[in-house]
Amino acid sequence: MHLHPIQQRRGFSFIELLVVLAIIAFLIALLVPAVQKVREAATRTQSMNNLKQIALAAHSFHDNYKYFPFNGSDAAAGGVKYTKAAKNESIASGSWAFQILPYVEQQILFNKIDRTVALPIYQCPARGRPGVEVVKAGGGAWSDYFWNNYLNDAKNAEKADNADAQTPIANITDGTSNTIMVGHGNINTEQYLAQSNVTLCTNIFNGGTFGTARAGKNGAANPKGVTLQRDSKKAPDAGSWGGPFDGGALFALCDGSVHFISYSFNDLNAMLTPAGGEVINGFEEE
């Protein structure tokens, strides 16, 4: 009887292994853009929903007080003394985002300030930033969306801490469908993960600065004038608008609608002024 030697199982050759790895890499290269596109679409939809809820809250505020919220100041307007620093249960304090808290289902936080609470409605998920500013002298929830400072006092929109003009809808003579209420303002991409000292970004309990608002034109705080571009490593100024998405940024207009405005749009400043009388040539969107 002859015993046959046990045949060893033939493995992959080096070339075959390289071919398999190349195929896997090719498939991954095909899938990654598709996954990224789906992910961006999802985060953009969530961000649009956030802005829609913010716009509806601002209109509810308007229904109650007959003017839109503003960005805070240490000044008097309409017989009311305002403060930049938020005070419990006071609509005459803090930033616009603090003032509308009761209308975004945050009555408890409006009644009693808690600086450890993050507010997802004020955060763009595409940026993935921490929800709370951590500083020694306070801190609190901060926002990826910025108020149009022209809705405070259009004549002094280039100045921080400008007095509230108590702007009602009737004063938006350019049309509510042509005037920006709130939207993406630029943030330095290198500061996305920072918990403090983010350039021109402050928590919602501190109004009166361009940390919760943006403006346009030229001014001491925004020498470059109004810009509309994607977030980058550049530090923003008071006229810097834009977000984390390719192609454009999201804005809620004063009529409550939310739009994706292309970075190539050239008339953003015209959409910021509520009574500038400019002719808007139409803003591009997908």
What are the sequence ranges of the domains in the chain?
50-272
Q: Which of 8-22, 42-56, 120-134 has the lowest mean pLDDT?
A: 8-22
DSSP symbols for 95-152: -HHHHTGGGGT-HHHHHS--TT---GGGS-TTT---SEE--TT--EEB-SEEEEGGGT
* pLDDT > 90 in the chain, percent: 66
Task: Give 272's pLDDT tier (boundaries 50, 70, 90).
Answer: very high
Q: What is the pLDDT of residue 85?
A: 95
Q: Which residues, listed in sequence order, are joined to residue 148 by a DSSP beta bridge?
A: 214
The SS3 call for residue 27 is: helix
Q: How far apart are CA 103 and CA 234, in angstroms?
A: 34
Q: How far apart are CA 43 and CA 27, in angstroms?
A: 25
DSSP 17: H
Do the beta carbons of residue 138 and residue 206 sit within 8 Å? yes
78 pLDDT above the threshold of 70? yes
Structure token pair of residue 17: 């292994």
Q: How far apart are CA 160 and CA 200, in angstroms?
A: 11
Q: How far apart are CA 155 and CA 162, in angstroms?
A: 9
125 pLDDT above the threshold of 90? yes
Q: Which amino acid is at 283?
A: F
User: What are the pLDDT digits (tens) for 135-156?
Assistant: 876 899 999 999 999 998 888 8
* pLDDT > 70 in the chain, percent: 91
What are the DSSP E strand ranges found in 155-257?
Answer: 180-184, 213-214, 227-228, 240-241, 248-253
Q: Which residues, listed in sequence order, are joined to residue 182 by a DSSP beta bridge?
A: 147, 252
Do the beta carbons of residue 286 and residue 219 sit within 8 Å? no
CB atoms within 10 A of CB 73: 23
Q: What is the pLDDT of residue 284?
A: 52
User: What are the pLDDT digits (tens) for 41-66?
Assistant: 889 999 999 999 999 999 999 999 99
Direct distance between the N- and C-terminal alpha carbons of the chain, in angstroms, rounded to an integer: 80
